[in-house]
Amino acid sequence: MEAILLTVADISKDALGLDFSRDEIIEFLAEQQLQSEANVDIGLRAHEALRGFVNTNIASFITDGATTWNKSIPCLGKVEHLNNGSMVVGIVTTEFPKIMAQLKFNNANLIISKFKSLGFLDHEVGKNYRKRKLTNAGSSVRVYIIRFE
């Protein structure tokens, strides 16, 4: 990518008389790369922090096959442990920003976007969530389905 932009800068200088600073282009590309790496890193850090939160607060989640919920404890979502050892967590969309704030990630929408780009988020087409019943008797609610390997 860098080579293409530098070639375009050279052609623009020769053909159009425009003078682009090659050093500024390289500096700009390096800065963009660092920002990109930081954004991926924040997604991975949030994913690991969320795994720890779920494990620590498992009592606030409906777990594997439970059909009822003790309503004296707020329900944050549902946890399913799969046969291959991985875990799938459905977190109620209204609870997700609160959890992320507790974990010191203040932009929940950015985190969901990062989870989606990293392949951690299972979602409906064109949306970031799925509608799921947390219990057999409950109604469908919007949840973020997050995979943990």
Q: What is the pLDDT of residues 129-146, one digit of tens each?
A: 999 988 776 789 999 999
Q: What pLDDT sits at residue 25?
A: 66
H or E element: which one contains 113?
A: helix 108-118
| Higher per-residue confidence, 25 vs 94 | 94
Which pLDDT value is given to residue 130? 94
The answer to whether 121 and 144 have CB atoms below 8 angstroms apart is yes
Average pLDDT (50-73) is 85
Q: Exposure of 94 by Cβ count < 10 A (0-12 exposed, 13-18 middle, 19+ buried)?
A: exposed
pLDDT grade, residue 17 (50/70/90)?
A: low
What pairing do the DSSP bridges indicate for beta strands 121-122 and 61-63?
Answer: unpaired
Cα first-last separation, the chain: 33
Q: How much is the pLDDT for 69? A: 73
* 37 — pLDDT class (breaks 50, 70, 90): low
| Residue 53 pLDDT exceeds 90 | yes
